[in-house]
Amino acid sequence: MSDIIWPVGYVPGYTDNFCSNEVIVRGLRAADLWPLLNAPGLWPSYYLNSANVRIDGGMGPQLEHGVRFYFETFGFPVEAEVVEHVVPVAGQPARIAWHGWAGSTPEDRLDVHHAWLIEDLSGDRVRILTQETQVGKPAQTLATTKPNPMINGHQDWLDGIVAAARAQAQ
């Protein structure tokens, strides 16, 4: 199975916080999930922890490499830029990642690398992996919060995208 590609400064284990969520489900393909993930305006319809999405510069509604966008999640107003964008094709996993940031002072600044990998597997299965590394004081706080809001929130995102893709397939 494939791995997330990490930029310098965001390798898990060297950041203030890291979360990883993964599901493998039967009966869906990467091509079924990609349109839901690649259109951030759809996120609030299946992931309740996202709101007020907008894509900057008249781009969109689909994400592309270099596109900047905004959304709110986990109580943070996040500005983001797509830094990896690989659409699903046979034999190659789909990938999307963005660098996101919020805050402007050393006390409230949060920088993240949020990456997704969607990979078709044998036996009519698909693997959806999302991982995020975070740097900053808010990340240090999130890393010690129980229950872990990042793990739980991202699991909701995975469950939501799977449910939305299944609903569209019917």
Sites in the chain below the pLDDT cut of 50: none
Residues of the domain holding 144 = 17-169
| Cβ neighbours, 10 Å, residue 33 | 23
pLDDT at 170: 80
pLDDT at 13: 96
Amino acid, res. 160: G
Total domains in the fold of the chain: 1
What CATH number did the domain enclosing 161 receive? 3.30.530.20
Classify residue 8: in a domain, yes or no. no
pLDDT at 143: 96
pLDDT at 99: 98
pLDDT at 58: 80
Give the strand order in the sheet containing 94-102.
17-26, 125-135, 110-121, 94-102, 76-86, 68-73, 51-55
pLDDT at 1: 72
Total residues found in the chain within this entry: 170
pLDDT at 92: 93
pLDDT at 18: 98
pLDDT at 57: 83
pLDDT at 169: 84
pLDDT at 145: 96
pLDDT at 168: 93
Classify residue 6: in a domain, yes or no. no
